[in-house]
Structure 1
């Protein structure tokens, strides 16, 4: 049963819990040319057999042994391609066993989608990454425990990026370059944190999804006539940071604030709580790497080309002068350093002020477009009520959305769930039943392809809304998994019978 995903990696429970490490002599045995796995026996060597044309070996209904792992690892691109093709062939619900895999590669192999490992290499070759240490715990046990912890916390990507090994980096970078569109399906739409500590973080699927969604869905609020470009802050969300609060004391007009940062490139203020904008952390030393500069430059140039403003003001540190030529091309008034007097003077002369209720409504419309790609029209003439941590959005005496500041996301009600179903967005199609509790994979007939884990979704039977809640699987897993919670129901339609 699927418990949790992060990319192709997964936690499962059932006859065995994965990721799993098998112990030689206890769970598996190598006896000459015979290999024993639990109650299954293979009459040949599965570690170093040169017969590379041999494919996967089915050892249980949902478990496949992938032989010759160490031989396949010699050619990184072929190995990754082979593994992905095998996933498409056998299904994303199956468990893959990699016998004899090098222990230090367990994290990246888990990220690639392997589920079961063993400690055989330690026994066969006295393996150790830095040499054998007397009385030290087996390296395989240590690494599998760290992999499990990272996967449970949503930090597997960080663990993988931290491994200083050429083969691990080759696999990660080849996946990022060639399989983003697949792996992104399995990245949750919300995660507690991102530690973007290496340049590989620029190519994380959730980071790339942010930039892609900006380009595909984002529209600036209708009130946004004047643009203010500002730097990020260490504290998230930006608006509660000391630097941004100090800056806002000197902004004397209603400005559309857009934050320039790495690895997200560009964050409109109204989206600053949407994942991963309030969840990421980066090491800050006042230096920008060339890859970061290019990302921010390209995204800013796209943004200024697409969206028109009556005036652009930039209030950026000296370290971001690599943007100066682009800002000049678009006629921006540039303020370098912390010249608050100039910021106050430049914004005050605009004499532009929008009522707070209009700002909030239009900002939520922008969020709805970004989150769902539809249904922003529900917010026309809507009213926002409550305090910030308990905001509800009403229209014609009906609650159409609530707002979850922890996730920076709109949460569905009956009205907005109907809108999603009508637009065939973020919709799960179930068999003919009324959910009394959560919806499990076995009861799902279909789902729209835009669903990621942690998305808000509508639950529908044919054309009838039956409920709404939070996706606990991606759309692929909803269709391929036989067991596991697919939707955590938050609201449901009561039966009349």
Structure 2
């Protein structure tokens, strides 16, 4: 180890679980200002090691393989009949292309996808990826990058983080009727033509505010209407086949256990097309009085007529829910999902407007697609910090644009990349924004974007 480089020895020979265990500590030991070097690793291991934080690789493995007639192709080796001298040059060029692909995927936010592709036919990489989910959630899983989902996305740290936090969420009111709808290609769902038709259909029914829309999708599972802006609900794409694998059904079952519909809803209506049968069975497992509309094409004219009729009958005797109480409940659910135990600092304010765009928590927060939920104002930031929210103390200068690491003096509290953080200078709150580094990284790096500042005092 030197002042500039720290070495991770034997990365290719460590057992997957042991490697992830070491990865959870090596940044703490090496610091963020040093580059982390893993010598003589297999090219196929390079994407997952970069994903875990390794910065530098070498060509030692390429030299050894070339001497024994192995050719490198997209990170994998193939036995060939080529002269060693020609093969060595060819493999070096291929390694350069492979490393360029890794660098490009990092810059484009698609490194996770490259790792997933590499893991498909590589048991070692697959095991490392599986064991690293909890670590990656802890390090920061709320980066606003598009997820092009597949079956492996069920273990994507951003997806697992969203699913786990559903336990913190509460529906807008007691004694509502749950309405389960299919997802849409367009995100957030409420912007799609199908969901606009759903909304216009149920809006014509008396007391429609007593209906609570939750969309069903893979890989996220269940997405309540209030959480459609939250990452990654508005940032994923997946091929829709209409079929649900056993692992996806189990994921839905676990999501219902987090939502606990039997505690919050008097009954449920399932209008989710090809997913309806599975959802109905899962709700009935939890003893929820459930109606399946059995509409094969939910957004068709016929499907909408069926939805309206069943909805009208289902909520006929449901207690009337006012728009004010509904807005208050929406704010509480969203704030709790975003801010956890600190959320009362927002919801004790005067709640006005309604979802999706006009919900406000006094002068403390408004809906922000960029934040992915309730975005704090400077006044909200001051109250957040006073209630234990994470804050950064910056050097004494006029904060005009974003805050870079060189201007960070210290921090208080904990956050992950993508969370909102408060900026203080000389004891006063002067800004609030989205964290682009974790706490230790801001202090250690001395360069790079630390906070994307959204509001200045």
TM range (shorter): 0.7 to 0.9
Q: Is 1:125 aligned to residue 65 of structure 2? A: yes
Alpha-carbon distance in structure 1 between the residues aligned to 2:370 and 2:396: 34
Please report the TM-score for the alignment, with normalisation by the length of structure 2: 0.82
Task: Render the CA deviation track for 1:331-367: whole Å, top value 9, x for unaligned.
Answer: 1222223443332112123257756566455434432
For residues 259-280 of structure 1, what are the alpha-carbon distances to aligned partners after superposition, in whole Å with 9 as ceiling and x for unaligned? 1221111110111121100111
Mapped to 2, the partners of 1:195 and 1:202 lie a distance apart of 12
Matched residue count: 421
Q: Deviations over 1:403-450 (max 9, x none)?
A: 32244332221221111111111322446666455434353322311x
Answer yes or no: is 1:200 the counterpart of 2:157.
Answer: no
SS of 2:186's partner is coil
TM-superposed CA distance for 1:392, in Å, is 7.9
Q: CA offsets per residue over residues 305-324 of structure 1, 9 Å max, x none?
A: 56422332222334442343
Is the CA contact (8 Å cut-off) linking 1:315 and 1:335 kept in structure 2? yes
- Residue 400 of structure 1 deviates from its aligned partner by 2.5
Q: Which of 103, 122, 131 is residue 174 of structure 1 equivalent to?
A: 131
* Matched residue SS, 1:259: strand
Provide the residue aligned with 2:96 in structure 1. 141
TM-score if structure 1 supplies the norm length?
Answer: 0.76
Q: 1:292 to 1:101 in 2, by over 3 A?
A: same
Contact 2:137-2:158 at 8 Å conserved across structures:
yes
Matches for 1:47-196 after TM superposition, within 5 Å: 58=1, 60-70=2-12, 72-73=13-14, 75-126=15-66, 127-128=71-72, 129-131=76-78, 138-163=93-118, 164-176=121-133, 180=134, 182-196=135-149
State which of 350, 363, 375 in structure 2 corresponds to 1:381. Answer: 350
Check whether the contact 2:215–2:222 (CA below 8 A) recurs between aligned residues.
yes
- The answer for the alignment partner of 2:178 in structure 1 is 227
Q: What is aligned with 1:55? A: none
Say if 2:277 and 2:292, in contact at 8 Å, map to a contact too: no
| Structure 1: gaps spanning 5 or more residues | 1-57
Question: Alignment partner of 1:336: what SS?
Answer: coil
CA distance in 1, matches of 2:409, 2:116: 36
Of 475-484 and 151-160, more deviation after overlay is shown by 475-484
Whether the 8 Å CA contact 1:107–1:143 is kept in 2: the answer is no
1:308 and 2:308 matched: no
How far is 1:112 from its partner? 2.1
Partner of 2:336: 369
The answer as to whether partners of 2:172 and 2:328 remain within 8 angstroms in 1 is no
Change (3 A) 1:392 1:261: closer
Instruction: Indicate the larger mover: 346-355 or 116-125.
Output: 346-355
Which residue does the alignment assign to 2:367?
Answer: 403
The Cα offsets for residues 124-180 of structure 1, whole Å up to 9 and x where unpaired, read as 32141253698967221111111111111211111100113222112111222xxx1
Structure 2 residue 394 is the aligned partner of structure 1 residue 452:
no
* SS of the residue 1:77 aligns to: helix
CA displacement at 1:488 relative to structure 2: 3.1
Aligned partners of 1:209, 1:66: CA distance in 2, in Å? Answer: 28
Distance in 2 between residues matched to 1:377 and 1:225, nearest whole Å: 26
1:392, 1:228 → 2: CA distance? 21
Higher helix share: 2
Matched with 1:7 is none
Q: Alpha carbon RMSD of aligned pairs, Å?
A: 3.0
2:199 pairs with one of 223, 236, 248: 248
- Within a 5 Å distance, the mapping from 1:262-277 to structure 2 comes to 262-277=218-233
**Cα distance 1:224–1:240, how it changes in 2: closer, same or farther (>3 A)?**
farther
Measure, in 1, the Cα distance between the counterparts of 2:138 and 2:33: 14
Instruction: Write the distance in 1 (CA, Å) between the matches of 2:307 and 2:276.
Output: 17
Counterparts of 1:354 and 1:435, CA distance in 2: 45
SS at match of 2:185: coil
**1:462/1:314 CA distance change after superposition, 3 Å:** farther
Q: Find the counterpart in structure 1 of residue 251 from structure 2.
A: 295
What is the alpha-carbon distance in structure 2 between the residues aligned to residue 297 and residue 291 of structure 1?
10
> Contact between 2:16 and 2:124, CA under 8 Å: does it hold in 1?
yes
- Residues 433 and 454 in structure 2, CA contact (< 8 A), matched pair in contact too: yes
In 2: Cα distance, 1:264 partner to 1:66 partner:
35
Q: How does 1:299-448 map to 2 (within 5 A)?
A: 299-305=255-261, 307-328=263-284, 329-337=287-295, 338=298, 339-349=303-313, 350-351=315-316, 359-360=326-327, 362-373=329-340, 374-376=342-344, 378-379=346-347, 380-384=349-353, 393=360, 395=362, 399-430=363-394, 435=399, 437-442=401-406, 443-448=408-413
Distance 1:108 1:377 in 2: 40
**Counterparts of 1:105 and 1:201, CA distance in 2:** 19
CA contact (8 A) 1:97 1:114 kept: yes
Residue in 1 that maps onto 2:166: 214
* Larger CA deviation: 199-208 vs 267-276: 199-208
